[in-house]
Amino acid sequence: MPDAPSPTGLSALDRIFCAAERLFAERGFDSVSINDVAREAGVCKANVFHHFASKQALYETVLTRACEALGEEIERQLSAEADPHSVRRLRGNVGSFGMGVVLRDVRWGSSGTHRARLRSRYA
């Protein structure tokens, strides 16, 4: 059964994503708890765990969604670009930037098994 929308019109899952994205961006993975995300989203902790098996799973989903949204926006903007050389160069630069963000988190922003898992997945 889908989550009931809040008075703002967002489902509990969407509120969880918004809260997690903001908190992870502001504080980093290690400084955010599931309780923090639940409180910020206006849901109970069990609701977060209903959707995600762990904080790691939530983080990876937030990161994946952000990368996909960026990629879609870049592709939309590139579709108007006429020069194929510029398009290839921009795609390469954006790819490098995206990996740089992930690798920065892998190298400096996280610790322990979280870092090792991201490194094995993205490095």
pTM: 0.63
Q: What is the pLDDT of residue 64?
A: 86
Q: Can you state the angle between helices 112-122 and 84-104, rounded to 10 degrees?
A: 160
Where the chain has pLDDT below 70, the residues are: 1-8, 77-78, 80-123
Give the side-chain half-sphere CA count within 13 A for 103: 7
- Homologous superfamily (CATH) of 12-122 is Tetracycline Repressor, domain 2 (1.10.357.10)
* Sequence spans of domains, the chain: 12-122
Q: What is the pLDDT of residue 89?
A: 67
Q: What is the pLDDT of residue 109?
A: 45
Q: What is the pLDDT of residue 67?
A: 79
Can you spell out the DSSP letters for 16-40?
HHHHHHHHHHHH-GGG--HHHHHHH
